[in-house]
C-alpha cells in the first residue's frame, strides 16, 4: 500500500490561521455516504448492483403502472385480500418521496401474478425490464413485475410471520413490502447487499422485517431522479434578499449564532489576512 505524506515546512502563524479556518469549513460539510445500487451500462452489457457509473433510468416521467393483481384469494390467514389496494399503497409510498409512478389502466408496465408457464421456484417476485437506446445510452422503456402465485401471501405490517403453507412451515409473504421492493426495481434501484453494502433498506435482496422505505432507499431514488429546482423557492430567496432578509449565500455555513460571535470571527479573518500579508512582504 502506498501512502502520500504531506510535505513539511516552517509553520507561520498567519498561514496556519488561514489554513485552520479553511479546514474548519471543510469538516463542517458532510461527506456523501451512498449504499444504494443500480444498473449501469458497460458497452452493450447491463451490469447490476453498481454504486458508480451512470444509472439506467426511465427517460421520461411519470411512469404509468397497471395494477392487475385483483382480489383473488391466495392467502391462508385472512381469506380474500384486496391485492390491488395494497399494491397502490406501495406505489403511493414511493410517490411520496418523488412523484414518478402513476396508475394507468392500459399501461404497458404491469404488476400481476405469475402464470402457469412462469415458474419462479422459491422467488417471491421478479421484475424484468426492457431497454432501448436513446442518444447513445440505454434507458428503461418497459417493466413487468410478477408475484409468485405458488407461495402464500397476505398483507400485514411488522415482523414476518411463520405460516403452514402447502404442508411446510414457511414465512407468510406481505404483498405490500414485496411490491415496495419490486417497484424500486422498476424505478432502477438494485440490491445494496449484493453490491457489497451493509445497510437497512427495503431494496436488500432478502425479504425481512423491514416493511417500509428506509433512508437509503429514499436517497437512492433521489439520486437517480434528482428533483428539479423549485422556481418558487428561488423567488422567495430573492424576495428575502431584496427586503433585507436572509438569502442564500456561499462560503462556509457555520450555523445559527449570536451576532457578536460572527463579528469576532470576522475580526479573526481580517487579522489573519493582515498577518499573512506582513509575512509575504517581510
CA distance 229 to 219: 17
pLDDT for res 57: 97
Residue 257 to residues 253, 265, 272, Cα–Cα distance (Å): 11, 11, 21
Q: What is the pTM of this model?
A: 0.69
pLDDT for res 23: 30
Low-confidence ranges of the chain (pLDDT < 70): 1-34, 71-81, 230-282
pLDDT for res 82: 85
Helices then strands (H, E): number in the chain? Answer: 6, 10
pLDDT for res 278: 57
In a 13 Å sphere around the CA of 257, the CA atoms on its Cβ side amount to 10
Structural domains of the chain ordered from first start: 38-224 (3.40.390.10)
Closest by alpha carbon to 58, among 203, 221, 216?
A: 221
Amino acid at each position: 500500500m502506498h501512502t502520500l505524506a504531506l510535505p513539511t515546512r516552517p509553520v507561520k502563524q498567519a498561514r496556519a490561521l488561514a489554513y485552520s479556518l479553511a479546514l474548519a469549513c471543510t469538516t463542517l460539510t458532510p461527506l456523501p455516504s451512498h449504499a444504494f445500487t443500480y444498473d449501469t451500462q458497460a458497452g452493450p452489457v447491463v451490469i447490476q448492483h453498481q454504486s458508480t457509473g451512470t444509472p439506467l433510468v426511465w427517460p421520461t416521467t411519470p411512469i404509468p403502472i397497471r395494477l392487475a393483481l385483483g382480489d383473488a384469494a391466495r392467502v391462508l390467514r385472512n381469506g380474500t385480500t384486496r391485492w390491488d389496494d395494497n399494491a397502490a399503497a406501495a406505489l403511493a409510498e414511493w410517490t411520496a418521496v418523488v412523484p414518478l409512478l402513476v396508475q394507468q389502466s392500459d399501461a404497458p408496465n404491469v404488476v400481476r401474478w405469475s402464470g402457469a408457464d412462469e415458474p419462479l421456484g422459491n422467488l417471491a417476485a421478479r421484475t424484468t425490464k426492457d431497454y432501448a437506446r436513446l442518444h447513445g445510452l440505454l434507458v428503461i422503456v418497459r417493466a413487468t413485475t410478477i408475484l409468485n402465485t405458488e407461495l402464500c401471501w397476505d398483507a400485514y405490517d411488522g415482523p414476518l410471520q411463520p405460516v403452514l403453507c402447502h404442508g411446510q412451515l414457511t414465512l407468510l409473504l406481505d404483498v405490500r413490502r414485496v411490491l415496495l421492493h419490486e417497484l424500486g426495481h422498476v424505478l432502477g434501484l438494485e440490491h445494496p447487499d449484493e453490491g457489497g453494502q451493509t445497510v437497512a433498506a427495503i431494496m436488500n435482496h432478502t425479504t425481512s422485517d423491514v416493511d417500509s422505505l428506509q433512508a437509503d432507499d429514499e436517497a437512492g431514488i433521489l439520486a437517480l431522479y434528482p428533483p428539479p429546482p423549485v422556481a418558487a423557492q428561488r423567488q422567495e430567496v430573492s424576495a428575502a434578499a431584496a427586503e433585507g432578509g436572509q438569502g442564500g449565500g456561499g462560503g462556509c455555513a457555520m450555523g445559527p449564532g449570536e451576532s457578536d460571535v460572527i463579528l469576532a470571527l470576522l475580526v479573526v479573518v481580517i487579522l489573519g489576512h493582515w498577518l499573512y500579508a506582513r509575512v509575504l512582504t517581510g
